[in-house]
A and B are shown apart, each in its own frame.
Chain A
Amino acid sequence: MRARKAGTARLASAPSARSRRGLDWFTFFVANLQTGFGPFLSVYLTTQRWTQVDIGLILSVGSVAGLIGQVPGGFLVDWVRSKRRAAALAVVGIGSSALLIAALPMFAGILGAKLLQVASSAVLGPAIAAITLGLVGHRGISERLGRNARFAAIGNGIAAAVMGACGYFVSAQAVFWVTALLTFPTLLALAHISEAEVDPIRAGGGNARGGPDRDGSIARLLRKPALLVLMGSVMLFHVANAAMLPLVGSAMAMRSGQWATALVAACIVVPQVIVAAISPRVGLLAQSLGRRPVLLAAFAALIVRGLLLAWSSDPAMIVAVQMLDGISAAAIGIIVPLVLADITRGTGRFNLAQGIVGTGAGVGATLSTTAAGWLADRYGMGTAFLGLAALAACGFLVVLAALQETRPK
């Protein structure tokens, strides 16, 4: 009884500095791990003499599996007791996938590796948020999500620069060897997070007193209006957002000869610098102003960005406009898990809800590239940016009209 009391006391207090630093570095390295698996994979497969048909097939299978995997991934993270172990397995899965991709670039090998990476990511995404919530609880989550976003952005920025340079100057394959090696520091960082400090009930959004299943039926979760509104607006955000960077990239490639590659790199890295700079402040604002204004700001920045990109074709201007990407990325990255933590409080379904909203985000991103590609082909790039801005405006209106403030009093 005394031991239990001591345990509760420790959980109630702030987590140890060692665990907090572990989480900092864990989010940093996880961002590093994922860099090579994006559009870069198709560059690598081209260097391995793959045909475009096979590359397209792998990417399609990957994105479909990515959509299907989100909900089971979130469900699994709620279900397992040790969120840390789930995260560790997912990290090993991503590392093995990178190893397989570097060592065995044959169809079956790459297909297996892509599926392994997608499945691991479906667990890893919710697991980080779960560990965070388990460590700091609902009271500290807002601030801590801001800090997570900062370290993830630093990781993203450094990884993009280093791996991009690695792919350019060494070889495309080297990027995946580096990714595989990064598994070790990632696991080391995770090991610094104390298992005892990650409360499994709190990590699932459960109330430590009420237990996980007090309000935990999935049907009841799905009937929560706030969850559906959030999912819809997140989907609209990604429909408007996902194709913007690729469109910016091709605009750069067409307009700015010699410096095209460096400018595209700047368009990728600049938003990460902004996210790293403002995220902690955004976390605090979400607590003081509320979730809704910050989410509206994310959409507003996206609308302005689309309009400016449609209007301007000057490369320096485009790089500057990419700073707005940093604002909306920071806001959406912090507010989405935060609102989910608010609305699943006491249900023990925090991570399942993340999977549901993640599926919406994935569907949105897939629609985005198709829609924007079609618009750009048919009516030109300016119209495509305007169309994306209009979709962002729809998202803004959805949040304005339908999303209630979820910040606890």
Chain B
Amino acid sequence: MNVMRGSLEGSAGLCLAILLAVLLMGAPPVSPAAVQSAHAADTPAPDGPAGAPDTPRADTYTLPDIPPGAIPGPKLQSLLGRELKTRDEDPGRIIDILCDSEGRVRAAVVELGGFLGIGMRRIAVHWSVLTFDTADPKRPRLILELARDDLRSAPEYKPGEPVEVLVGRPD
């Protein structure tokens, strides 16, 4: 425990020393106050543990307050193949998720209707018209907030072609 803390402090001290060196040598127009504060931050580090963890480190990235490698799990759910109901309670299913060139999720491809695999429709719907209803946590429902007539006239989704995404109607 002590060893670990020591090494942490050591590396923190090293960081600060490098920061200081950069500030002193690499940047000529440095105000005396800035140099001063860097010195002040540097001084307690070799002596004791007190100041080191609280020292702001502008050049390093710190993870948010979660254990590394794990994202809180129970709230996340799988979507591929997930059943949904339209506003008129017609059943459907999510078969793909579409994102833009920056990786933001934009739309879901849903498959609606059909009998024995014949007469199904595939439609791309905007992410915002999907409602996740968790009123009953054991059976979370996924609702597609679109009316039957809107879905009926929607253009068919075809992979490899420009996607027309169906968005809700203001009501």
Residues of A within 8 A of B (CB): 35, 38-43, 46-52, 160, 163-164, 167-168, 245-246, 248-250, 252-255, 257-258, 260-262, 264-265, 267-268, 377
Contact A51 B80 (CB under 8 A): yes
Q: B116 on the interface (CB 8 Å rule)?
A: yes
Give the distance in Å from the alpha carbon of A38 to the alpha carbon of B120 in the complex: 14
Within 8 Å by CB of A38, from B95, B116, B149, lies B116
Cβ-closest 5 pairs across A and B: A39-B117, A249-B119, A264-B119, A49-B81, A249-B118
Contact B121 A253 (CB under 8 A): yes
Of all chain A residues, the one with the shortest Cβ separation from B121 is A253
Residues of B within 8 A of A164 (CB): 115-116
Contact A52 B121 (CB under 8 A): no
Contact A268 B116 (CB under 8 A): yes
Give the distance in Å from the alpha carbon of A8 to the alpha carbon of B168 in the complex: 76
Spot the interface stretch: B3-11, B133-141, B151-159: B151-159
Give the distance in Å from the alpha carbon of A57 to the alpha carbon of B80 in the complex: 18
Interface set, chain B 64-121, CB cutoff 8 A to A: 78, 80-81, 83, 88, 91, 93, 95-96, 111-121
Q: B148 on the interface (CB 8 Å rule)?
A: yes
Give the distance in Å from the alpha carbon of A257 to the alpha carbon of B117 in the complex: 17
Could you pull out 17 A-B pairs where Cβ atoms are within 8 angstroms? A35-B116, A49-B81, A50-B81, A52-B96, A52-B159, A164-B115, A168-B91, A249-B118, A250-B121, A253-B112, A253-B113, A254-B153, A261-B119, A265-B116, A268-B115, A268-B118, A377-B158
Give the distance in Å from the alpha carbon of A261 to the alpha carbon of B148 in the complex: 13
Report how many residues on chain B are interfacial, defined by Cβ distance under 8 Å: 27
Residues of A within 8 A of B116 (CB): 35, 38-40, 43, 160, 163-164, 167, 265, 268
Within 8 Å by CB of B149, from A43, A257, A264, A377, lies A257
Residues of B within 8 A of A377 (CB): 158
Residues of B within 8 A of A268 (CB): 115-116, 118
Contact A46 B81 (CB under 8 A): yes
Residue from B78, B112, B113, B159 having most chain A Cβ neighbours under 10 A: B113
Residues of B within 8 A of A (CB): 78, 80-81, 83, 88, 91, 93, 95-96, 111-121, 148-149, 152-153, 156, 158-159
Give the distance in Å from the alpha carbon of A106 to the alpha carbon of B106 in the complex: 29
12 more contacts with CB within 8 A, not counting A253-B113, A267-B119, A268-B116, are A43-B117, A47-B93, A49-B81, A52-B95, A52-B159, A168-B115, A250-B119, A254-B153, A257-B149, A258-B88, A261-B113, A264-B114
- The smallest beta-carbon distance between A219 and chain B, in angstroms, is 41
Give the distance in Å from the alpha carbon of A279 to the alpha carbon of B63 in the complex: 74
- The smallest beta-carbon distance between A60 and chain B, in angstroms, is 14
Give the distance in Å from the alpha carbon of A264 to the alpha carbon of B116 in the complex: 9
Residue from B81, B93, B117, B158 having most chain A Cβ neighbours under 10 A: B117
Residue from B88, B114, B149 having most chain A Cβ neighbours under 10 A: B114
- The smallest beta-carbon distance between A258 and chain B, in angstroms, is 7
Contact B118 A264 (CB under 8 A): yes
- The smallest beta-carbon distance between A264 and chain B, in angstroms, is 4
Contact B118 A245 (CB under 8 A): yes
Give the distance in Å from the alpha carbon of A220 to the alpha carbon of B165 in the complex: 58
Contact B113 A260 (CB under 8 A): yes
- The smallest beta-carbon distance between B121 and chain A, in angstroms, is 5
Residues of A within 8 A of B153 (CB): 254
Of all chain B residues, the one with the shortest Cβ separation from A262 is B115
Residues of B within 8 A of A42 (CB): 117
- The smallest beta-carbon distance between A346 and chain B, in angstroms, is 42
- The smallest beta-carbon distance between A153 and chain B, in angstroms, is 16
Of all chain A residues, the one with the shortest Cβ separation from B95 is A46
Contact A253 B119 (CB under 8 A): yes
Residues of B within 8 A of A248 (CB): 119
